[in-house]
Amino acid sequence: MSRIVVATAYGGPEVLRVVDQEVPRPGPGQVLLEVHAAGVNPADWKTYSGAWGRDEARLPLRLGFEAAGVVVGVGEGVEDVWIGDEVIAHPARGAYADHLVVEASSVVPKPPTLEWAPAGGLMVTGTTAVHAITATSVGAGDTLLVHGASGGVGSMVVQLARMRGARVVGTASHANHDYLVELGAVPVAHGPGLEERVRTVAPHGVTAAVDTVGTDEALDVSVALVRDRHRVATIAGFGRGAALGVQRLGGGPGADPGTDIRAEARRRLADLAGSHRITVHVGATYHLADAGRAHRAGMDGAVRGKLVLVP
């Protein structure tokens, strides 16, 4: 039998349950993974919170969008993936499981130097970050403002932008300022007076901004500082972002999903993580049965970096 995490109703983390099912079989073009790690992301709890609707016919809802594991079954027509391969899978719907069927096109090799937990938490934040800095054309000579820079996506944006030669200013609570310095960013505290604090540390101006938190403060400060609104992007503030005329990225209403950009980034991200040129900071790991605890920690912002489930 295989264990999976499902939401049995719409609500908070208390609706999550671990249930048993038969180990699935891969169909044509698919592979079966024995999952070693599955990343936790805000999209996971939004799935059952009601934020994206409350269609009772969809219940129970499987959760998770990324995983890392070992291939233990291969469907007909799969040519480039073999039993025994260690891989990272994204997109991988229903990744909160100990066995998971995914399309063979969704997997990329896991570098042997990359441990399971960071591998399982790499792709959602990594591909989102690549999309954000690509959409805002960040490169050498830029000063980039990143809101929520110590979070999963924000920390990836910081690292990838620094690799492109940009100077990065990152917002975070005071407790996370030393972490941002380690990543190569200039830290500033969010809250009243943010615009003035950013102007102080970036006296020559800010040329681009990426918002990962979705607050009015983040977006209003971004458009006040960045002359070209096409170089401001949000992955969370879709309503305010639309009103201000900035780029909206991801799965929100009216947003650019960046499907091709994100898909093409996966192998490069795996290589960068495997060679330790980027780091997935795993803040905590939880067993499948503790998925609710993981979600509460994520909702509360109680853990720095990525949360990962380990079956």
Q: Where are the beta strands (DSSP E) in the chain?
A: 2-7, 16-21, 30-40, 61-62, 67-74, 86-89, 99-103, 107-109, 143-147, 167-171, 186-188, 208-211, 232-234, 247-248, 282-286, 306-309
pLDDT at 302 over 90: no
User: pLDDT by residue (tens digit) across 233-290?
Assistant: 999 999 999 999 999 999 888 999 999 999 999 999 999 999 999 999 999 999 999 9
Does pLDDT of 303 surpass 80?
no
pLDDT in tens, 56-114: 999 999 999 999 999 999 999 999 999 999 999 999 999 999 999 999 999 999 999 99
Contact 168, 182 (CB under 8 A): no
Query: What share of the chain has pLDDT > 70, as a percent?
Result: 100
Please tell me whether residue 82 adopts helix, strand or coil conformation.
coil
Does the pTM of the predicted model rise above 0.85?
A: yes
Domains of the chain (ranges, CATH numbers): 2-122+280-309 (3.90.180.10), 126-248 (3.90.180.10)
pLDDT for 42 equals: 92
